[in-house]
Structure 1
């Protein structure tokens, strides 16, 4: 796993093994995940979304604690996956990182609790699956306008973003901050440390 430019966001670039039957790769291994992040990911929920070309999902985040960490990959087609630092007080507050996830490179992105997440489908039937550390809780879920000019996310040229009514009505980053919706970097860091302290050391058995 390779760290991105935003604290507590990583990209996994697995080795893909092709043969005459197709391909095989490991998109999540607990031991390597723990070595890179200092914590475990015990999924409480697994999601799958299928999107037509141009669909833009996000920008979503949730209250911390408990927040919702995600490990995201694209198993069919391609998406532009974006992580945004919406943690007030973070050195990279308002910054974003984009990673192409597709069914050839088979990369995956992990983002910790408190970070914002969005992706745009680059192909029809783009299928994204992700492991979540907590279940969906609508009362704790929030959004920021993924087209906010202040964020300046470089979505692909030539595609007209297709947003849900909820995502289209999301506030700008500045308005979300004024409304007190954004998590604080201090609270997130404290939460990460608690998670590291609670995780059980790995045994010598299978990961």
Structure 2
């Protein structure tokens, strides 16, 4: 397994060692000791989530506030997504910057999104199954977000605007500037 830190400090692309033969493949998707050594700090995941979505779905940009902030380790089980992490740590030199990484069932990449980041993804394949581990429990009262099409973030979701499918909740999220007023 290999970890590469992105331009956003603490945010890592994780690439597992995949063993293939005529029968198929095998890889270790998560090992707590290996993972903690790779990113240089202990993370204790307490909740696993999975979503199923169709092409054009954009989920995000979401995060949990305060004591319920979450770090996530995300991956695609089936299909392909463009996964996006936005640094929302006000004291960070990369505040307001984002990274976008294509995660697919073929490349088996994962993205570690630390606390202090907004997260979202767009579905690039006909269908996608998206899996993620969280280091804190979900709390409805602590959920927050930034609107996906915030002009200052200028994220290219790789989805045509007329193909984008969003929840009502995600459409009305504030901009980054409005959230941090």
Q: TM-score range by the shorter chain?
A: over 0.9
Structure-1 separation of matches of 2:32 and 2:132: 15
TM-score normalized with structure 2 length: 0.93
Where do 1:1-207 residues align within 5 Å? 1-158=3-160, 160-178=163-181
* Structure 2 CA distance for aligned equivalents of residues 83 and 112 of structure 1: 9
What's the secondary structure of 2:136's corresponding residue?
A: coil
Which structure shows the bigger proportion of residues in strand conformation? 2
Q: Give the Cα separation in 2 of the matches to 1:157 and 1:122.
A: 7
For 2:139 and 2:120, locate their aligned partners in 1 and report how far apart those are by CA, in whole Å.
18
Displacement of 1:157 in angstroms is 4.8
Is there any run of 5+ residues in structure 2 with no aligned partner, and where?
A: none
Paired residue total: 178
Deviation at 1:61, TM superposition (A): 1.1
- Scaled by the length of structure 1, what TM-score is found? 0.82
Question: CA–CA distance in 1 between the matches of 2:29 and 2:136?
Answer: 20
Q: What is the alpha-carbon distance in structure 2 between the residues aligned to residue 96 and residue 5 of structure 1?
A: 9
8 Å CA contact 2:49, 2:131 repeated in 1: yes
How many Å separate the matches in 1 of 2:7 and 2:35? 18
The two structures, once aligned, show a CA RMSD in angstroms of: 1.3
